[in-house]
Chain A
Amino acid sequence: MKPGNELKTAHSPSHIPDDWFNWKEKDKDEAETVARPSLSYWQDAWRRLAKNKLAMLGLVFLVLLAIMAIFGPILSPYQVNTQNLPNQYQPPSAEHWFGTDSAGRDVFTRTWYGARISLFVGVMAALIDVTIGIIWGGISGYKGGRTDNIMMRIIEILYGLPYLLVVILLLVVLGPSLSTIIIALTVTGWVGMARIVRGQVLQIKNYEFVLASKSFGTKSARIIRKNLLPNSMGPIIVQMTLTVPSAIFAEAFLSFIGLGIQAPYASWGVMANDSLGAILSGNWWTLFFPAFFISFTMFAFNVLGDGLQDALDPKLRK
């Protein structure tokens, strides 16, 4: 049929100039332009994280805390364990910014030493968890089959063990010290990380690009290193960020039940535990500073972890 023969309304609006009826020059680029600038995964994640005010607050706090943990004790004229009994329970002043405790020790100095211990315990525990978790979960998820089955059974059983009870038991036997606390925290702590890594690996393993490199005969170790790990970094980073505060909490908790880090170290948990009696007598600052820093550090890690989770999970992108 010939179009136009049956036109009911003459479709030739006169206000449209005739010379517009010419074939358009084909502009290849026009069809191909992408409206939004493309950002790499990490740039995009960072942009989203930067938009999250709470997460940025946490990040800034943690950076400042790390700086103070390194330089704070140097700034202070006092030693961490120098007792000065006549000087006990001084309220915060120009000399002692955070006051002094029951033994006349400077709370400001002790707080930054405590930050060293707490951050060290938290970060070390997280790093060890990640290392074991990646190896265990990576192998389990990648190998699959029988290996996976056995490795997962072990995880399942370890997962059922009550975490803090095992930690307590180990510390009773090993005796509390900086290294034993970290060991005790990681003995069963890595299980959660291993589960996450395994889940990620299982998911990514079947993506086409992994199958492709497999079909080229790439070695397993290389596939794990080059393909699987970079693509599962997001959840691993988030899990790490959330491991740190729970380790800090566990250390403080252990101090409270008498299994904390022993002198000459002073962790926030030990400081808080030492000053329990002091709150009844109104010397609030001895408890306030360690309590504030434990809580705010955990808060900072938690909000940063939440922020990272949102930023690294493109599924949530709106």
Chain B
Amino acid sequence: MLKYILKRFMIMLVTLWIIITLTFILMVNVPGSPFNSDQSSNETIKANLEAHYNLDAPYHIQYLNYLKSVATFDFGPSIKQPNQTVNDLLGRGFPISLELGLVTIAVAVISGIILGIIAALRHNGFIDYMAMGFAVLGISIPNFILATLLIQQLAVNLNLLPPATWSSPAHMVMPVLALATGPMAIIARLTRSTMLEVLTQDYIKMARAKGLSPWKIVFKHALRNALMPVVTIMGTLLAGILTGTFVIEQIFAIPGMGKYFVESINQRDYPVIMGTTVFYSAFLILMLFLVDIAYGILDPRIKFHKKGGE
């Protein structure tokens, strides 16, 4: 198990290093980036940049500096907003984005799994068709379109919910719904198909032959095995939710990290783009790592396999 974790950890570090290096290489080549010194704007900002990036030094020194600042979690100043560092923006935006993300994941996972189980147990029945029709729609409608539809219907036409910002549970309903529908649909479909597959396994028949009740068979014998694949796609889903927050926060004017990120893209505020990209990537890669570990804990075969050799 330890060897397995260590291997995943090494891969995680390499991936992270690639992202950091990639951002550096790209930014060095972009006109108007901090590394490309012809900054014509505000003098204070220019001074800040000089101080932070040591722009006169050769590239490899700059690269090492950059690695050091990333390692110490210091992403430098913003170009467009004087006296703001990237860290300030992250510090303000991240808690809000995290809240949105966590609520979304909870909603998507719980409702997706329940929907998937019900559909599998009513295989080829009316409920199954309804649930899966709904799931295909959920996968097909992009979150930003769902968001605008929700605003139009629930906020503008029916005036049920506040259309924007982030201050009360009522404000959370639409952004979470818009963001959670896609992942929920994917989880529901996956749970259903693996559940159907698991239900044909011999050990399920064996459990039936023991005279266990259907509930016990589903929850004790089938569900855990059926959820393994769901755990493996959690990384991809998290990435989807995270990038989804960019547009959702923008549409609902939620002052999260995604909103700052999109603004920084539109203003070409390169240090903010770099800082948030690295931060997002680190966060995602860490999540992928945790998902892998979780999978190792859930499936006893992996533990053994890795302990047993290779």
User: CB distance A253 to B243 under 8 Å?
Assistant: yes
Residues of chain A contacted by B140 (CB below 8 angstroms):
245, 295-296, 298-299, 302
Q: Any chain B CB within 8 A of the CB of A164?
A: yes
Q: Any chain B CB within 8 A of the CB of A75?
A: no
Residues of chain B contacted by A165 (CB below 8 angstroms):
19, 243, 277, 280-281, 284
Q: Contact mask B214-257 → A, CB, 8 Å, 1/0?
A: 00000000000000000000000001001100110011000000
> Which residue of chain B has its CB nearest to the CB of A284?
B152
Q: Any chain A CB within 8 A of the CB of B11?
A: yes
Which of B23-31, B37-45, B70-78, B103-111 lines the interface with chain A? B23-31
User: CB distance A172 to B265 under 8 Å?
Assistant: yes
Q: Any chain A CB within 8 A of the CB of B142?
A: yes
Residues of chain A contacted by B266 (CB below 8 angstroms):
257-258
Q: Any chain A CB within 8 A of the CB of B262?
A: yes
Q: Any chain B CB within 8 A of the CB of A94?
A: no
Give the distance in Å from the alpha carbon of A264 to the alpha carbon of B236 in the complex: 34
Q: Contact mask B1-34 → A, CB, 8 Å, 1/0?
A: 0000000000110110011001100110110000
User: CB distance A169 to B22 under 8 Å?
Assistant: yes
Point out the residue from B12, B18, B145 that lies within 8 Å of A272, measured CB to CB. B145
Dominant SS among interface residues on chain A:
helix
Dominant SS among interface residues on chain B:
helix
Point out the residue from A172, A258, A279, A298 that lies within 8 Å of B30, measured CB to CB. A172
Give the distance in Å from the alpha carbon of A81 to the alpha carbon of B309 in the complex: 65
| Interface residue count on the A side (C-beta < 8 Å) | 39
Known A160-B288, A256-B250, A258-B265; judge A298-B148 contact (CB<8 A): no
Known A165-B243, A257-B250; judge A160-B151 contact (CB<8 A): no
Give the distance in Å from the alpha carbon of A252 to the alpha carbon of B250 in the complex: 15
Residues of chain B contacted by A279 (CB below 8 angstroms):
148, 151-152, 156
Residues of chain A contacted by B130 (CB below 8 angstroms):
none
> Which residue of chain A has its CB nearest to the CB of B251?
A276
Q: Any chain A CB within 8 A of the CB of B92?
A: no
Q: Any chain A CB within 8 A of the CB of B290?
A: no
Q: Any chain B CB within 8 A of the CB of A312?
A: no
Give the distance in Å from the alpha carbon of A143 to the alpha carbon of B148 in the complex: 50
Give the distance in Å from the alpha carbon of A188 to the alpha carbon of B251 in the complex: 28
User: CB distance B247 to A299 under 8 Å?
Assistant: no
| Interface residue count on the B side (C-beta < 8 Å) | 44
Point out the residue from B156, B273, B285 that lies within 8 Å of A160, measured CB to CB. B285
User: In residues 135-191 of chain A, which contact B (Cβ within 8 Å)?
Assistant: 156-157, 160-166, 168-170, 172-173
Q: Any chain B CB within 8 A of the CB of A259?
A: yes
Known A162-B280, A168-B265, A169-B26; judge A291-B14 contact (CB<8 A): no
Q: Contact mask A253-268 → B, CB, 8 Å, 1/0?
A: 1001111000000000
Give the distance in Å from the alpha carbon of A163 to the alpha carbon of B137 in the complex: 23
Q: Any chain B CB within 8 A of the CB of A303?
A: yes
Known A272-B144, A276-B251; judge A157-B137 contact (CB<8 A): no
User: CB distance B148 to A157 under 8 Å?
Assistant: no
Give the distance in Å from the alpha carbon of A287 to the alpha carbon of B145 in the complex: 9
Residues of chain A contacted by B262 (CB below 8 angstroms):
257-258
User: CB distance A160 to B15 under 8 Å?
Assistant: yes
User: CB distance A257 to B15 under 8 Å?
Assistant: no
User: CB distance B247 to A256 under 8 Å?
Assistant: yes
Closest Cβ of chain B to A22, distance in Å, is 48
User: CB distance B145 to A162 under 8 Å?
Assistant: no
User: In residues 220-250 of chain A, which contact B (Cβ within 8 Å)?
Assistant: 245, 249
Point out the residue from B15, B141, B242 that lies within 8 Å of A161, measured CB to CB. B15
Give the distance in Å from the alpha carbon of A279 to the alpha carbon of B239 in the complex: 29
Give the distance in Å from the alpha carbon of A258 to the alpha carbon of B136 in the complex: 28
Residues of chain B contacted by A169 (CB below 8 angstroms):
22-23, 26, 273, 277
Known A169-B23, A169-B277, A173-B29; judge A164-B239 contact (CB<8 A): yes
> Which residue of chain A has its CB nearest to the CB of B287?
A162
User: CB distance B265 to A291 under 8 Å?
Assistant: no
Residues of B participating in the A interface, judged by any CB pair closer than 8 Å: 11-12, 14-15, 18-19, 22-23, 26-27, 29-30, 136-137, 139-142, 144-145, 148-149, 151-152, 156, 239, 242-243, 246-247, 250-251, 262, 265-266, 268, 270, 273, 277, 280-281, 284-285, 288
Which 7 A-B residue pairings sit nearest by Cβ, starting from the closest? A299-B140, A160-B15, A298-B140, A164-B243, A173-B26, A258-B266, A291-B145
What are 5 contact pairs spanning A and B, CB under 8 A?
A156-B11, A160-B11, A164-B239, A257-B266, A276-B148
Residues of A participating in the B interface, judged by any CB pair closer than 8 Å: 54, 156-157, 160-166, 168-170, 172-173, 245, 249, 252-253, 256-259, 272, 276, 279-280, 282, 284, 287, 291, 294-296, 298-299, 302-303, 306
